[in-house]
């Protein structure tokens, strides 16, 4: 329940920021071009808060936080006083209307650049992408990719941490091969490997791009020994102590932490005997795991953490830059994310990427919650990614979106005539239907991931 509330709050905050940015782009350029703005609303439906400014615009915060709008004076919709006719949207030149409509998506790209600039200025704690293991008979194994080596680039894109590795790999979906360059920790020599991905089966809802290729990131060794026991947890109530070495659960041997956690998860609300070694004594305390929900399933949880070796300092890096270099880094990241998004849209159209990979509001909410829980800089990175996606989606030539309006205005620009209203209305109906279908697919995929 707490995870749900955290994800929901993070989602509302993220979407509220991005919608406000988008609509402010329309609002600011409209005002600069002499258009009267009657209402600036963040959200739809019933107003939770409203205020009329000195500029005559009504500012509204509405109940449903799934979008927003800027209502401009328009003779095609409103009864306009003679003295206000030059303040209507429809009275402006086609160039002015194009500028007003394009300003929303442009504001999203500018915000992404700003968010990433602040992120790099603060610094992003990262881990170098060191390969921990290669699965036998995997795509990576067949390419002779080796463990204990650092991935330095993928298809020519520099990779300084695992996030950049994952983004680069996702961008290669649908390609027949991927070139990965690595270097050993004790050498600066760069090795190049070509992965045959013609039969690459990657389902983001089931596994990561790395795992599907047979690559496991390096992780510090996890010992089968307790390093922490939560206060008033089932483990503490059952008598477990820091330093206890874990041997078995209900007589099932657990020779590592993963095996121990797997066994505990199978017994939500049921008493289990845990065999431990404390000093030189073997004990079997009884514990009743709490029941918690994880990924739509109820699992057992006893409130303990294992002893883990520290990360080698040589693998820890902070992507932090000065004012000038941060601008360069943020511009490059914005460009990379924009290119990746356009590439994914293209591959969705061609069928190289399945529509099963689309996410709806639930997936976005989970992403917002996860990034926010990791810290402010990661939340900034998430905001930048979604802002870019929002900007690009709004540029799609669907009549109900900004891109559809721009399409009509470009036709008007070249023909010298406005697109007939009946044609526009038919286009809006088609655009609304297409958008609803995409949203339905995203929601279906979200529920499938949560429930399956």
DSSP 302-355: --EEEEEPPPPGGGEEEE---HHHHHHHHHHHHHHHHHHHHHHHHHHHHTSS-G
Query: 256, exposed or middle or buried, with CB in 10 Å at 0-12, 13-18, 19+?
Result: middle
pLDDT tens for the chain, residues 1 to 452:
556 666 667 777 888 888 899 999 999 999 999 999 999 998 888 888 999 988 889 999 988 877 888 999 888 887 878 887 888 988 899 999 999 999 999 999 999 999 999 999 999 888 899 999 999 999 999 999 988 899 999 998 889 888 888 888 888 887 889 999 999 876 678 889 999 988 887 776 667 788 889 999 999 999 999 999 999 999 999 999 999 999 999 999 988 898 999 999 999 999 999 999 999 899 999 999 998 877 668 899 999 999 999 999 888 888 889 999 999 999 998 998 888 888 877 777 766 666 565 554 444 444 445 555 566 888 888 889 889 988 988 888 887 788 888 988 898 888 888 888 777 777 777 767 776 676 666 555 554 554 44
Query: 127, exposed or middle or buried, with CB in 10 Å at 0-12, 13-18, 19+?
Result: middle
Global pTM reads 0.77
Cβ atoms 159, 352 nearer than 8 A: no
Residue with tokens 């020599």: 189
CA–CA distance, 94 with 408 (Å, rounded to integer): 10
Query: 317, exposed or middle or buried, with CB in 10 Å at 0-12, 13-18, 19+?
Result: middle
Cβ neighbour number for residue 19 with a 10 Å cutoff: 21
pLDDT at position 303: 92
Sign of CA dihedral 330, 334, 335, 337: positive
pLDDT at position 353: 64
Q: Which helix (H) or strand (E) holds 263?
A: helix 257-265
Could you give the maximum distance between any two Cα atoms of the chain, in Å?
A: 94
Q: Residue 329 catalytic? A: no
Q: In the chain, count H helices and then E strands.
A: 12, 19
Tokens matching residue 29: 């350029």
* Chain CA centroid to CA 415, Å: 41
User: What is 222-308's CATH number, 3.40.50.460, 3.40.718.10, 2.40.10.480, 2.30.42.10?
Assistant: 2.30.42.10
How is the chain split into domains, by residue range?
125-218+310-319, 222-308
* Chain CA centroid to CA 380, Å: 11
pLDDT at position 365: 46
pLDDT at position 237: 93
CB-facing half-sphere around the CA of 263: CA atoms within 13 A: 21
pLDDT at position 361: 44
Residue 332's contacts (CB-CB under 8 Å, 6 or more residues apart) are none
Cβ atoms 31, 37 nearer than 8 A: yes
Q: Does the domain spanning 125-218+310-319 belong to CATH 2.30.42.10? A: yes
The three-state secondary structure class of 154 is strand
* Chain CA centroid to CA 450, Å: 16
Which of these, 82, 81, 106, lies nearest to 24 by C-alpha position?
106
Q: Same CATH topology for 125-218+310-319 and 222-308? A: yes
The three-state secondary structure class of 208 is coil
Sign of CA dihedral 235, 240, 241, 243: negative
CA–CA distance, 430 with 423 (Å, rounded to integer): 11
CA–CA distance, 135 with 386 (Å, rounded to integer): 33
Query: 250, exposed or middle or buried, with CB in 10 Å at 0-12, 13-18, 19+?
Result: middle
CA–CA distance, 115 with 107 (Å, rounded to integer): 12
CA–CA distance, 138 with 354 (Å, rounded to integer): 22
Q: Which of 23, 150, 263, 329 is catalytic?
A: 23
Q: What is the DSSP letter of 190?
A: E
pLDDT at position 362: 45
Tokens matching residue 144: 């002779």
Tokens matching residue 31: 């005002």
The three-state secondary structure class of 451 is helix
């Amino acid at each position: 329940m707490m995870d749900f509330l955290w994800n929901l709050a993070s989602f509302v905050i993220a979407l509220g920021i991005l919608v406000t940015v988008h609509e402010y782009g329309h609002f600011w350029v409209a005002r600069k071009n002499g258009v009267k703005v009657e209402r600036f609303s963040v959200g739809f439906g019933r107003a939770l808060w409203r205020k009329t400014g000195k500029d005559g615009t009504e500012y509204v915060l509405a109940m449903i936080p799934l979008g927003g709008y800027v209502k401009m004076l328009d003779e095609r919709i409103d009864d306009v006083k003679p003295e206000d006719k030059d303040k209507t949207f429809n009275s402006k030149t086609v160039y002015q209307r194009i500028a007003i409509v394009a300003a929303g998506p442009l504001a999203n790209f500018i915000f992404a650049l700003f968010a990433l600039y602040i992120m790099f200025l603060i610094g992003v704690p990262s881990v170098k992408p060191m390969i921990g293991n290669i699965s036998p008979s995997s795509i990576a194994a067949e390419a002779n990719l080796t463990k204990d080596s650092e991935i330095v680039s993928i298809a020519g894109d520099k990779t300084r941490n695992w996030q950049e590795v994952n983004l680069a790999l996702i961008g290669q979906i649908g390609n027949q091969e991927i070139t990965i360059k690595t270097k050993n920790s004790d050498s600066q020599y760069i090795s190049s490997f070509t992965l045959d991905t013609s039969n690459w089966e990657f389902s983001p809802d089931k596994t990561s791009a790395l795992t599907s290729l047979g690559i496991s990131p390096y992780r510090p060794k996890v010992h089968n020994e307790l390093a922490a026991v939560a206060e008033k947890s089932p483990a503490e109530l059952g008598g477990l102590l820091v330093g206890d070495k874990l041997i078995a659960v209900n007589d099932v041997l657990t020779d590592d932490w993963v095996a121990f956690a797997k066994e505990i998860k199978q017994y939500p609300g049921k008493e289990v005997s845990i065999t431990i070694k404390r000093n030189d004594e073997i004990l079997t305390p009884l514990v009743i795991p709490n029941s918690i929900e994880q990924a739509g399933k109820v699992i057992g949880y006893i409130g303990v953490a294992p002893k883990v070796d520290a990360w080698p300092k040589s693998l820890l890096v902070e992507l932090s830059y000065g004012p000038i270099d941060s601008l360069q880094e943020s511009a490059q990241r914005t460009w990379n994310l924009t290119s990746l998004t356009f590439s994914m849209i293209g591959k969705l159209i061609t069928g190289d990427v399945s529509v099963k990979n689309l996410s709806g509001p639930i997936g976005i909410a989970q992403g917002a919650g996860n990034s926010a829980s990791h810290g402010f800089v990661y939340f900034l990175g998430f905001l930048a990614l979604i802002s870019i996606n929002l900007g690009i989606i709004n540029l799609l030539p669907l009549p109900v979106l900004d891109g559809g309006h721009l399409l009509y205005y470009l036709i008007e620009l070249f023909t010298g005539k406005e697109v007939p209203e009946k044609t526009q209305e038919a286009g809006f109906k088609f655009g609304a239907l297409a958008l609803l279908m995409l949203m339905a697919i995203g929601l279906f995929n979200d529920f499938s991931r949560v429930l399956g």
